[in-house]
Amino acid sequence: MNLLPNWLSQRAKVTPNRVAVDLAAESITFLQLHKRVVKRAFQLASYGIKKGHTVAIYMKNRIEYIELIHALAYIGAKALLLNTRLKQQEIQYQCSDAKANFLVVDESYEETILLSGTELIQLQDLIYRHEKEIVLQSQYDLNDTYTIMYTSGTTGNPKGVMQSYGNHWWSATGSSLNLGLQTNDCWLVAVPLFHISGFSILMRNVIYGMRIVLHSKFEAIQANAAIETKGVTIMSVVTSMLTQMLKELGGRKYPESFRCMLAGGGPVPRVLLDDCIEKGIPVYQTYGMTETSSQFVTLAPEDSIQKLGSAGKPLMPCQLKIVNANGEEVMNGIEGEIAVKGPNVTSGYLNKPEETDKAIKNGWFYTGDIGKLDEDGFLYVLDRRSDLIISGGENIYPAEIESTLLKHPLIAEAGVTGLPHKQWGQVPAAFLVVTSPIKKEELQAYCQSMLANYKVPKYYFIVDDLPRTASNKIIRRKLPQRIEQGRQL
């Protein structure tokens, strides 16, 4: 029961002439996509990439990204998806931790230092590469790992989340059982493909046989144009994207065929919801994470006002419970840790059995997020795990920034938390105890050399000490209280 035909090759057989991907300049059918992917697979093979290898990808949204993803499945290799905002040190860490054999990059890759143990392939070289014919994998074992995406937990270094073919299948079908699936459906991809939010659309693309429109990056004006003129019916967004789109939309309305804004990254604020209702835009709010291979809980538009702030109810294959500190399930109305279970949940963290055992017990994944269920079973997420900061749809983990700051010779203590921001929802702010005076420019330059830009703190406060628990752990939620007594750089 765990073997499925390769989804792209099945689509090339079953619905060969349907449009798979719409780009600015061309439309590619499933059969055409299959043929391009086979060529890419043979080109990749000529570098020595083979079954069982791990291949990292550092590329912006582009058709070659899609081709590579499917080509790796045909080869039987795993894909390590790198955030294109990562800096050299972060790339090096992830490639080395995942034992990536190759790293494919496009021109957005500006680093020049060679990675040890990982061979670099330039996309421009790959495109004109000769082909080496190999036997293609015609089916998947659903338990096999397909993709690896890194995410940080409560402490320290990012961990590689293993996502299997089955995780992606179950996520896609679970979503379709919730949102429905129409013949004319078309999903706009304006979120990064290296995130599960974007990648999961590629999976729905081949599993549903559904057209997608691919944008290289999000631009409100282009996104609206795609909805208004390209037959887009569904789009994945985060709050900041939705805000920009509504502003650009002004007095116009979307066509009636547009049926779903799938909004992730935290609850949509009331004013924005009201604006959407006025314009007749159905917003489905979601809760999910890299470990659940996309959405796990969704809130239907009809419940969005009555259940304001809620993330909704689990998808069909998904179970959810709230547990107390002893791991016991609590009643509706009581706060606790959110634990989830389902075939779309990761089997664990790559090469980290201890971290895996800590997170997954008896098939339940403990998210670290705090939440409660109301009397009708609707989930409210009260606090993201490890004080997660969500900034313009990017997850930022304070622990990672803190550990970077602590490496600076003049910093004795560092605490990071999110502060509200009009455009991005939140931005990271650093609270520092220093051994000597230090300038903001110096700190920023230091952080920019070590961290992706979105992780670089926007504010720095010099304080006498940090709020801590009895066991000396930083209480990050209390950091904002130090703003007044601190000195902002």
Q: Give the footprint of a second copy on this chain (CB under 8 A).
A: 1-5, 7, 10, 13-14, 139, 142-143, 164, 166-167, 170, 173, 176-177, 180-183, 207-209, 313-314, 316-319, 341-343, 363, 377
Least distance CB 27 / a second copy (angstroms) = 19
- DSSP letter for each residue of 207-254: III-EEEE-SS--HHHHHHHHHHS---EEEEEHHHHHHHHHHHTT---
Cα separation, 381 vs 298, whole angstroms: 12
- Beta carbon nearer to a second copy, 78 or 168: 168
- Beta carbon nearer to a second copy, 151 or 173: 173
Cα 349 to Cα 150, 200, 353, 355, distances in angstroms: 9, 19, 7, 7
Cα separation, 445 vs 460, whole angstroms: 13
- DSSP letter for each residue of 267-293: PPPHHHHHHHHHTT--EEEEEEEGGGT
Least distance CB 331 / a second copy (angstroms) = 15
Q: What is the CA radius of gyration of the chain?
A: 23
Least distance CB 317 / a second copy (angstroms) = 5
- Beta carbon nearer to a second copy, 2 or 257: 2
How many of the other CB atoms lie within 10 Å of CB of 396? Answer: 24
Least distance CB 140 / a second copy (angstroms) = 11
- Beta carbon nearer to a second copy, 1 or 325: 1
Cα 342 to Cα 166, 318, 321, distances in angstroms: 11, 5, 12
Amino acid at 349: Y
173-187: b (≥16 Cβ within 10 Å) or e: bbbbebbebeeebbb
- Beta carbon nearer to a second copy, 159 or 259: 259
Exposed/middle/buried for residue 483 (C-beta within 10 Å: 0-12, 13-18, 19+): middle
- Beta carbon nearer to a second copy, 282 or 415: 282
Least distance CB 90 / a second copy (angstroms) = 31
- Beta carbon nearer to a second copy, 140 or 446: 140
Least distance CB 203 / a second copy (angstroms) = 12
- Beta carbon nearer to a second copy, 7 or 58: 7
Q: Would the CA dihedral through 204, 209, 211, 216 be positive or negative?
A: positive
Least distance CB 165 / a second copy (angstroms) = 10
Least distance CB 11 / a second copy (angstroms) = 8
Least distance CB 74 / a second copy (angstroms) = 16
Cα separation, 374 vs 380, whole angstroms: 8
Asked if residue 199 lies in contact with residue 214, where contact means CB atoms within 8 angstroms, the answer is no
Cα separation, 275 vs 312, whole angstroms: 20
- Beta carbon nearer to a second copy, 261 or 447: 261
Which tokens in the block code for residue 291? Answer: 């470990």
- What single DSSP character describes residue 104? E
Least distance CB 365 / a second copy (angstroms) = 13
Cα separation, 386 vs 367, whole angstroms: 10
- Beta carbon nearer to a second copy, 47 or 364: 364
